């Protein structure tokens, strides 16, 4: 079983990304501890972790509040994604082991099947797994960690808007094919294209719902 600190962390993280806490609202330790059915200590730990990841802001002796996630921070996230994730794909095309490739293709099939079967609820998870496996194949732990940090800032939630899934599948397939074929530059270009397309959709959607919290992912 995971530690309570970890449990508190994921619970709070999910709650914040789901928008269950209004941005800027205060998070008092004891209250959260009561709600989560645990003591103050693990809750504090979770809050400190969230603070280092920028999801909450903490001032000594003054408390922690959920970070008001500015629209420009979404832009920042995607700017970094456009640089780091294609880079990871290039490295993956160079350095992926046979095992890596097998896992990537398995994740690709799983995603494609879910699209075919219209299992829309599974898509965010499968999408995340596919991306993560690709990046892991780059054999660059620090780069992987940075990318993970970026993904922490992408709220999953509903992800109910499942239009264009066929296009996303095609884009994913292009990336995977390039990596398996060891075509370094092509892999990077394909991922850049994929992210650019997603960005368009996300920013448009974010603007449309104006302050709404769920977004297009991947």
Positions that interact with a second copy (CB under 8 A): 2-3, 6, 41, 44-45, 48-49, 52-54, 60-61, 73, 76-77, 79-80, 83-84, 87, 140-143, 145-146, 149-150
d(CA 23, CA 18): 11
Q: Is 73 in the site for DNA (CB under 7 A)?
A: no
Closest C-alpha among 204, 197, 189, 199 to residue 85: 189
Residues linked to residue 64 through DSSP beta bridges, in sequence order: 27, 58
d(CA 75, CA 85): 15
d(CA 84, CA 150): 10
Q: Is 200 in the site for DNA (CB under 7 A)?
A: no
Binder among 13, 58, 120, 182 for DNA (CB under 7 A): 58
Say which entry of DNA, a second copy, none residue 76 contacts (CB below 5 to 8 A, set by partner kind): a second copy
DSSP at 96: -
The region that residue 118 occupies, defined by phi over 0 for left and psi between -120 and 50 for alpha, beta otherwise, is: left
Residue count of the chain: 218
Count of residues touching DNA (by CB under 7 A): 22
HSE of 69, CA atoms in CB hemisphere, 13 A: 26
CB of 40 to DNA, least distance (A): 4
Q: Which is nearer to a second copy, 20 or 79 (CB)?
A: 79
Q: Which is nearer to a second copy, 50 or 206 (CB)?
A: 50
Dihedral sign for Cα atoms in the order 150, 152, 153, 158? positive
CB of 155 to DNA, least distance (A): 24
Alpha helices in the chain (DSSP H): 4-17, 29-36, 40-52, 71-95, 98-116, 123-136, 141-152, 165-180, 184-209
Say which entry of a second copy, DNA, none residue 46 contacts (CB below 5 to 8 A, set by partner kind): none
Say which entry of a second copy, DNA, none residue 109 contacts (CB below 5 to 8 A, set by partner kind): none
Say which entry of a second copy, DNA, none residue 54 contacts (CB below 5 to 8 A, set by partner kind): a second copy
Q: Is 13 in the site for DNA (CB under 7 A)?
A: no
Say which entry of a second copy, DNA, none residue 146 contacts (CB below 5 to 8 A, set by partner kind): a second copy
Say which entry of a second copy, DNA, none residue 205 contacts (CB below 5 to 8 A, set by partner kind): none
Asked if residues 216 and 159 have their Cβ atoms less than 8 Å apart, the reply is yes
For residue 218, give the 3-state DSSP assignment: coil
Binder among 11, 15, 38, 49 for DNA (CB under 7 A): 38
Q: Is 45 in the site for DNA (CB under 7 A)?
A: yes
């Amino acid at each position: 079983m995971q530690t309570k600190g970890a449990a508190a962390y994921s619970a709070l993280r999910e709650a914040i990304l789901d928008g269950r806490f209004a941005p800027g609202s205060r998070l008092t330790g004891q209250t959260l501890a009561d709600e989560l059915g645990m003591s103050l200590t693990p809750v504090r730990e979770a809050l400190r972790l969230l603070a280092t990841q920028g999801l909450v802001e903490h001032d000594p002796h003054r408390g922690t509040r959920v970070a008001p996630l500015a629209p420009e921070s979404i832009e920042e996230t995607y700017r970094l994604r456009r640089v780091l994730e294609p880079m990871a794909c290039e490295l993956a095309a160079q350095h992926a082991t046979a095992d890596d490739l097998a896992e990537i293709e398995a994740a690709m099939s799983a995603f494609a099947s879910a699209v075919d079967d219209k299992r829309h609820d599974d898509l965010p998870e499968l999408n995340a797994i596919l991306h993560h496996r690709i990046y892991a194949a780059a054999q660059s732990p620090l780069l992987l960690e940075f990318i993970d940090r970026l993904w922490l800032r992408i709220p999953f939630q509903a992800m109910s808007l499942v239009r264009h899934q066929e296009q996303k599948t095609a884009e994913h397939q292009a990336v995977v094919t390039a990596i398996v074929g060891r075509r370094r530059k092509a892999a990077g270009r394909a991922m850049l294209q994929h992210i650019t397309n997603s960005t368009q959709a996300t920013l448009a959607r974010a603007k449309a719902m104006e302050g709404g919290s769920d977004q297009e992912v991947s």
